[in-house]
Amino acid sequence: MARFAGRVERAGYGLVLSPLFEEVGVFERVGEGTDVVRKEMYDFEDKGGRHLALRPEGTASVVRGYVQHRPPVPFKAWYVAPNFRYERPQAGRFRQHHQVGIEALGTDDADLDVEVVALAWSVCRDLGLTRIDLLVNSLGDDACRPSYLDALRAYLAARVDELCDEHRSRAADNPLRVLDCKRPACRAATDGAPRMVDHLCEPCAAHFGRVIAGLDALGVPARLEPRLVRGLDYYTRTTFELAASALDSAQNAVGGGGRYDKLAEALGGPPTPGIGFGMGIERLLLACDAEDVFPVPEGAVEVFVLDTAREGGGGSHATVVTAELREAGIGADRAFDRRSMKSQFKQADRSGARLAVVIGDREAAEGTATLRDLRTGDQEVVARADLVGHVRKQLS
């Protein structure tokens, strides 16, 4: 989480907290044709008769907030939030999952697509994941997608008997879903299906060309996947997914996202293009586990203060020293309960701190403090008044 926040905040994204539930229409407008909205939403009526839904994903709420508050553009937001989908729970698929994600609204510049896709890629790299495939596609726009869908429908109509049970009846209504189907029957039947990338209008083709060139310039290894259609309705142009090859293929998407240039309008706002991604925290952790790069929790504590003084104020020395260090911007924690020295040093080791400060009765009486390097065991006695300076020097 801290690594994700650091990475995206350095790129200008600010934290946005959105509500756990919204009026159901917010989500219906973003995905009426999708399972996430049609079948999997937890919706309910509140005491005032309002029809509400638990958030199934993060984008709609952020865009609803943008439409309501109209911050200056480009508006760049990041979030970490639980999402709820009434799915059949299985490994890597939960009814409550958590996503970290970003959304950027206000420009359709392809360079922003490059920034967003590259950030998603960097997040995986920051975690030490190496077996990740970055798949990209373009879903076109209102100018080119309708004629592509006609071509795809005609292709599927000629092969309807070869499709899986679910898609035989849905192919005409939502032909894109068939491309996404993982069942062998649909896979085989759609092998030679028309590809959206071959039907892009000139502006969409130019946009996608710039995205591919930009990712290439950054050395981000994106691979065109013409079947990639994503599970939500709002996407236009660039779409992408990060697939962990170390995970079971049915649940191997650790993240995904894309452009949604019509979403702000659909939610009652002015035309405002946007793009973002969401990454499943649980799936990222499963992928780290599978690749054996599980991140060791990074402690923010740099100094651990032991409380061993019995005379003259006792624990107040530890209280004051800890507060002084924190005020000086140094991560500091302390021992409580006046345990034995041995047990406090054990706590200091567990805290992940590099240094321990000991103020016992002798130090308290002399106006000194003992500073111990927890990695080497070296220690020195320093003047109490100069403690912060000594700590700074040792940490640097």
User: Footprint of ligand HAM on this chain (CB under 6 A)?
Assistant: 57-59, 85, 87, 92-94, 97, 99, 101, 103, 231-232, 253-258, 276-280, 282-283
CB of 77 to ligand HAM, least distance (A): 10
Closest CB to ligand HAM among residues 93, 183? 93
Nearer to ligand HAM, 261 or 333 (CB): 261
Which of residues 62 and 359 has its CB atom nearest to ligand HAM in the complex?
Answer: 62
Least distance CB 155 / ligand HAM (angstroms) = 26
User: Please, what is the angle between helix 2-9 and helix 110-126, to 10°?
Assistant: 150
The pair phi, psi for residue 240, each rounded to 5°, is -155, 160
d(C-alpha 239, C-alpha 137), whole Å: 5
The smaller minimum CB distance to ligand HAM, of residues 214 and 280, is found at 280
Residue closest to ligand HAM (Cβ)? 280
Q: In terms of CB distance, is 92 or 175 closer to ligand HAM?
A: 92
Structure tokens at 55: 């958030």
Considering the complex, state which of residue 69 and residue 88 has its C-beta at the smaller distance from ligand HAM.
88
Among residues 127, 135, 103, which one has the least CA distance to residue 8?
A: 103
Residues 392, 330: contact at Cβ < 8 Å? Answer: yes
User: Min. distance of Cβ 366 from ligand HAM in angstroms?
Assistant: 58
Question: Please, what is the minimum distance in Å from the beta carbon of residue 95 to ligand HAM?
Answer: 7
Instruction: Write down the least CB distance from residue 246 to ligand HAM, Å.
Output: 14
Closest separation in Å from C-beta 377 to ligand HAM:
44
